[in-house]
Chain A
């Protein structure tokens, strides 16, 4: 939906990104010169042990956090150095979010929650796309329910629909299945994969679950703030292998 030039820039791109927290003794380098591209129409997972900087990378890519050095682009736009107003507008119009905690507004119905980003922007949903999204997440009969009347899996599906409805350049998902049982988790993941494959959406997902990562087209591995490897066409086994190889002294990877 956004106009792009002929070179089709990546949906999101990090160039030599550094991120440092604290000073002196408490200084922690979260990202040390990370460069990565996330192509359009692809489902990318970012993996890594706790403290590897995967969440920080995603926050920087999404314009939620600032970088200390380097540049971040979303679509063809450089977002590094943007003010709050421009960043807010970027998040509203060109980025979608899915969180581990669902983060739905309890006062709004499912339908209102899904429409929220459009309402904030003062836009109307495209009715065709609306139907596609609602049917894909299978929420048509639950639209008037409040979040408290929905199960965890249903709530996360509402959150996914909310992220998709604006057809953003890229959707960032932060451990989207972390709070769900495995069946609901699998539903969400298949649904995310379907929206990439069938509807040409772009998703960047942070996870430490190898099964979740295996739904992606490509997995990027982070350790100690740097990209150390990547896999294309992953399976749970290959991902787990890679993780084991990457960091032997890190805490055991959850299954």
Chain B
């Protein structure tokens, strides 16, 4: 039995390769995710081991506002010189160096633009001379306050050389420094993991990066011989007491590396998402292939039954095939995954990491195990139904020469209806009921189950819909024949189309939600934002773009400007809880910019007052006069009194503080600005002058309100594009399915093709016939996808109404594009089968049995 199975497997290599390809792709992404994570983790470990190689114990101050990864960048709380002296006094300390380094030194390149960073920080530090790690390549260290040095990565990216005067943005607005040296790191590295670093003299670094002189960001301790880092750490911790974090060098390596690896989790999830989609679509493909194979082998299988094979053996024979395909696909997928993982690690390193020395490519055991489990499981699951069908073939079928009659679709349609209803219920529950943590999973499961249900229903609707779509092509005889062919086997057409549906439904659904969100944002902005000119910049690193507050003062003097309000923002703790707050230098101007005419809001805030939005005040039970304790990123906590409670959206955010509070923010410069014009002045009169004032603040620009809103909304377009790329994969796999189905159809209809050719159908006409069949199937799938996706997207959008997505936008244009694309996909999928059909030897085809 096994031998017979394997023999028949070999006989249909191509078919199985096509369907196995989906599994290969899925497994590839699973394995790739594990491999890239493992490789990068190892590389991070070795990177930080190198960076902390001269550190036995490191000391930092506890941050005043602990910020999670999602809330933004944590602000370094400076460590006073007294703490450094204390550490030096601890027995066993050989040396203790006060270091100054913090994120946020942004170099202006020779092209006048700020150097951006995709992830690694842009560190400003105090020059501590060269050592085993840091090596000067050119020039010397900074000695005067207007001198600085940069690492080779910065020098290359900014296009600057020793002797240039270079502008740098820090906690303070743009300042110019003379570049006196360029340095690299041991092993001829330009950078440690892509970090852009510049170094000033110590007092300048302290002032610009930490906000005051005489403080340090951390202390690096080296132990005397014979003192273990752990013992020294405990001694230092005991001496310094609370308020400090003391770690050994090894701990620092582990913690810093772990932080970065947490960031990789996102990356891994994307890859696993790819894998999930690929495998889900792949199931359709494999199911279809096995069904067709079983149908084609009906006589052969019946003969086996007639010869005494049991039903179990029949099921076994099909499942063994599935296992073999699954195993082969897993091996190939794993191999491809290792390649993809290594490639991604390399790309990540080149573009986001910059010059990190990659460790050897790691293939963790988890990658191998999950590859095989996923690959084999998916294939076997997909083969179960065809296996059962094979076992139900009656032995007598071996003697009959009847084409398998069309089985009625009632059963499968009822099942489809039930499953769809279940899926829709899950989706509805997830969207509209409060499911807590399970919400996301409920929605996902709902979507998946709905897809399966709809796929089961597809055969029922395929006949009329396919026939209707086909009518578009019926003007010619090949078109009509193609149309008729696509309607011949509703199950096969349906499942092929369903595979295409999944990808297109997901894209359409996401697009509906995104476009709706975008339209809602625009509509809301149009009603809220009254400012004619907005100062803002693209956030292209962990820190927001900022500008010189002097611009605000100067803008106010431009004729025609009625009011200017700057906006500062940061994370603070209010009564011990983290909150994101704004601060402004001109509350009246900000009110004007947001059209806030609410009675009771004062036009200025005293230095100990703040304004709170209505929902926030209600949540906490606050009112005007309530006193709140606020701890900013720097300095000491302060008490503020609520001076006003304003309706939501009548001022930005939930909290507005006076500008005096911003001097203790992590970022002490404004990030946005709003300008209102006096009556009778046009934007075109004022905007160029505001732009001119921003010449020294290259991170931001001034725009009219419409351009600003459009720019904000454009982020959604980026997201849509990303999603489309992701799902292009699903569609690619579905195309494999279309090719597969067509190739089988051509094979099955060899005789018919031969006849058509014999009675005079030309090669081009034959190809057109096959192409029409492919296009009809593809367009049918896309149509299903667009309809299902629009339905799901509408449901999600409606569910998010209370979260601010008030508009519902159906992206007709995009949906149309998908349909056209699907037609194109059909044409491409048809190429090979069509050529095969056209090349058919007429004589051989007629004689074909």
A99 at the interface (CB under 8 A from B): yes
**By the criterion CB–CB under 8 Å, are B757 and A107 in contact?**
no
**By the criterion CB–CB under 8 Å, are B846 and A84 in contact?**
no
Residues of B within 8 A of A119 (CB): 477
Contact with A along B598-640 (1 / 0, CB 8 A): 0000000000000000000000000000000000000000000
A91 and B751 CA atoms in complex are apart in Å by 17
**By the criterion CB–CB under 8 Å, are B481 and A105 in contact?**
yes
**By the criterion CB–CB under 8 Å, are B758 and A107 in contact?**
no
The answer to whether residues A91 and B843 also contact, given A107-B481, A120-B477 and a CB cut-off of 8 A, is no
**By the criterion CB–CB under 8 Å, are B752 and A93 in contact?**
no
Contact with A along B573-585 (1 / 0, CB 8 A): 0000000000000
Task: Using CB atoms, name the residue of chain A closest to B763.
Answer: A84
B485 at the interface (CB under 8 A from A): yes
**By the criterion CB–CB under 8 Å, are A92 and B751 in contact?**
no
**By the criterion CB–CB under 8 Å, are B759 and A97 in contact?**
yes
**By the criterion CB–CB under 8 Å, are B484 and A103 in contact?**
no
Residues of B within 8 A of A108 (CB): 481, 484
Residues of B within 8 A of A162 (CB): 759
Counting chain A residues whose Cβ lies within 8 A of the other chain, the interface size class is 20 to 34
A121 at the interface (CB under 8 A from B): yes
Residues of A within 8 A of B843 (CB): 59, 64-65
A116 at the interface (CB under 8 A from B): yes
Residues of A within 8 A of B757 (CB): 88, 91
**By the criterion CB–CB under 8 Å, are B760 and A89 in contact?**
yes
B756 at the interface (CB under 8 A from A): yes
A152 at the interface (CB under 8 A from B): no
The answer to whether residues A121 and B758 also contact, given A64-B843, A65-B843 and a CB cut-off of 8 A, is no
Residues of B within 8 A of A93 (CB): 760
Kindly identify which residue among B477, B487, B758, B762 contacts A64, using a CB–CB cutoff of 8 Å: B758
**By the criterion CB–CB under 8 Å, are B756 and A105 in contact?**
yes
A101 at the interface (CB under 8 A from B): yes
**By the criterion CB–CB under 8 Å, are A91 and B758 in contact?**
yes
B471 at the interface (CB under 8 A from A): no
A117 at the interface (CB under 8 A from B): yes
Task: Using CB atoms, name the residue of chain A closest to B842.
Answer: A64
**By the criterion CB–CB under 8 Å, are A92 and B485 in contact?**
no
Q: Of residues B487, B759, B761, B765, which shows the largest number of chain A Cβ atoms within 10 Å of its Cβ?
A: B759
Task: Using CB atoms, name the residue of chain A closest to B843.
Answer: A64
A7 at the interface (CB under 8 A from B): no
Residues of A within 8 A of B751 (CB): 101, 103
Residues of A within 8 A of B484 (CB): 107-108
Residues of A within 8 A of B795 (CB): none
Residues of B within 8 A of A116 (CB): 477, 756, 759
A85 at the interface (CB under 8 A from B): yes
Interface residues of A in 215-239 (CB under 8 A from B): none
Interface residues of B in 474-523 (CB under 8 A from A): 477, 481, 484-485, 487-488
B328 at the interface (CB under 8 A from A): no
Kindly identify which residue among A85, A97, A99 contacts B762, using a CB–CB cutoff of 8 Å: A85
A104 and B758 CA atoms in complex are apart in Å by 12
User: Min CB distance, A47 to chain B, in Å?
Assistant: 20
B295 at the interface (CB under 8 A from A): no
Task: Using CB atoms, name the residue of chain A closest to B486.
Answer: A107
User: Min CB distance, B713 to chain A, in Å?
Assistant: 50
**By the criterion CB–CB under 8 Å, are B846 and A103 in contact?**
yes
**By the criterion CB–CB under 8 Å, are B760 and A88 in contact?**
yes
Residues of A within 8 A of B758 (CB): 64, 91, 97, 103
A2 and B762 CA atoms in complex are apart in Å by 21
User: Min CB distance, A227 to chain B, in Å?
Assistant: 22
A96 and B755 CA atoms in complex are apart in Å by 11
**By the criterion CB–CB under 8 Å, are B755 and A88 in contact?**
no
Contact with A along B744-776 (1 / 0, CB 8 A): 000000011011111111110100000000000
**By the criterion CB–CB under 8 Å, are A107 and B761 in contact?**
no
What is the number of residues of chain B that contact chain A, defined by CB distance less than 8 Å?
Answer: 22
User: Min CB distance, A167 to chain B, in Å?
Assistant: 14
A99 and B847 CA atoms in complex are apart in Å by 10
Contact with B along A111-136 (1 / 0, CB 8 A): 00000110111100000000000000
Residues of A within 8 A of B760 (CB): 88-89, 91-93, 117, 120-121
User: Min CB distance, B472 to chain A, in Å?
Assistant: 18
User: Min CB distance, A122 to chain B, in Å?
Assistant: 8
Task: Using CB atoms, name the residue of chain B closest to A94.
Answer: B760
A168 and B701 CA atoms in complex are apart in Å by 80
User: Min CB distance, B748 to chain A, in Å?
Assistant: 11
A118 and B758 CA atoms in complex are apart in Å by 13
User: Min CB distance, B605 to chain A, in Å?
Assistant: 79
Residues of A within 8 A of B842 (CB): 64
A79 and B484 CA atoms in complex are apart in Å by 33
Task: Using CB atoms, name the residue of chain B closest to A93.
Answer: B760
Residues of A within 8 A of B761 (CB): 88, 92, 120
Residues of B within 8 A of A101 (CB): 751, 846
A245 and B484 CA atoms in complex are apart in Å by 51
User: Min CB distance, B672 to chain A, in Å?
Assistant: 66
Task: Using CB atoms, name the residue of chain B closest to A105.
Answer: B752
Q: Of residues B751, B761, B763, which shows the largest number of chain A Cβ atoms within 10 Å of its Cβ?
A: B761
Kindly identify which residue among A84, A85, A91, A106 contacts B759, using a CB–CB cutoff of 8 Å: A91
User: Min CB distance, A161 to chain B, in Å?
Assistant: 12
Residues of A within 8 A of B765 (CB): 120
Residues of B within 8 A of A99 (CB): 755, 846
A162 and B760 CA atoms in complex are apart in Å by 12
Residues of A within 8 A of B485 (CB): 107
**By the criterion CB–CB under 8 Å, are B763 and A105 in contact?**
no
The answer to whether residues A107 and B488 also contact, given A99-B755, A101-B751 and a CB cut-off of 8 A, is yes
User: Min CB distance, B772 to chain A, in Å?
Assistant: 13
A117 and B756 CA atoms in complex are apart in Å by 8
Task: Using CB atoms, name the residue of chain A closest to B848.
Answer: A101
**By the criterion CB–CB under 8 Å, are A88 and B762 in contact?**
yes
A105 and B488 CA atoms in complex are apart in Å by 12
User: Min CB distance, A114 to chain B, in Å?
Assistant: 11
A184 and B131 CA atoms in complex are apart in Å by 104
Kindly identify which residue among A88, A96, A120, A121 contacts B763, using a CB–CB cutoff of 8 Å: A88
A108 and B842 CA atoms in complex are apart in Å by 20
Residues of B within 8 A of A85 (CB): 762-763
A120 and B764 CA atoms in complex are apart in Å by 12
A218 and B843 CA atoms in complex are apart in Å by 26
User: Min CB distance, B324 to chain A, in Å?
Assistant: 34
Residues of A within 8 A of B759 (CB): 91-92, 96-97, 116-117, 120, 162
Task: Using CB atoms, name the residue of chain A closest to B761.
Answer: A120
A91 and B752 CA atoms in complex are apart in Å by 16
A116 and B843 CA atoms in complex are apart in Å by 19
Residues of B within 8 A of A121 (CB): 760
A117 and B755 CA atoms in complex are apart in Å by 10
Q: Of residues A84, A96, A107, A108, which shows the largest number of chain B Cβ atoms within 10 Å of its Cβ?
A: A107
**By the criterion CB–CB under 8 Å, are B762 and A105 in contact?**
no
Task: Using CB atoms, name the residue of chain B closest to A119.
Answer: B477
User: Min CB distance, B726 to chain A, in Å?
Assistant: 39
A119 and B481 CA atoms in complex are apart in Å by 11
Residues of A within 8 A of B755 (CB): 97, 99, 103-105
A102 and B765 CA atoms in complex are apart in Å by 22
Contact with B along A206-220 (1 / 0, CB 8 A): 000000000000000
Taking A103-B754, A120-B477 as given, write out 11 further A-B residue pairs in contact, using a Cβ cutoff of 8 Å, ordered by the A residue number.
Answer: A59-B843, A89-B760, A92-B760, A96-B759, A101-B846, A106-B488, A107-B481, A107-B487, A116-B477, A116-B756, A117-B759
Instruction: List residues of A whose CB falls within 8 A of some B CB.
Output: 59, 64-65, 84-85, 88-89, 91-93, 96-97, 99, 101, 103-108, 116-117, 119-122, 162
Q: Which 5 A-B pairs have the closest CB atoms?
A: A92-B760, A107-B484, A103-B755, A119-B477, A117-B759
Of the A-B pairs whose beta carbons lie under 8 Å apart in the complex, a sample of 29, sorted by A's number, is A64-B758, A64-B843, A64-B846, A65-B843, A85-B763, A88-B757, A88-B760, A88-B761, A88-B763, A89-B760, A89-B762, A91-B757, A91-B758, A92-B760, A92-B762, A93-B760, A96-B759, A103-B846, A105-B752, A107-B488, A116-B756, A117-B759, A117-B760, A120-B477, A120-B759, A120-B761, A120-B762, A121-B760, A122-B477
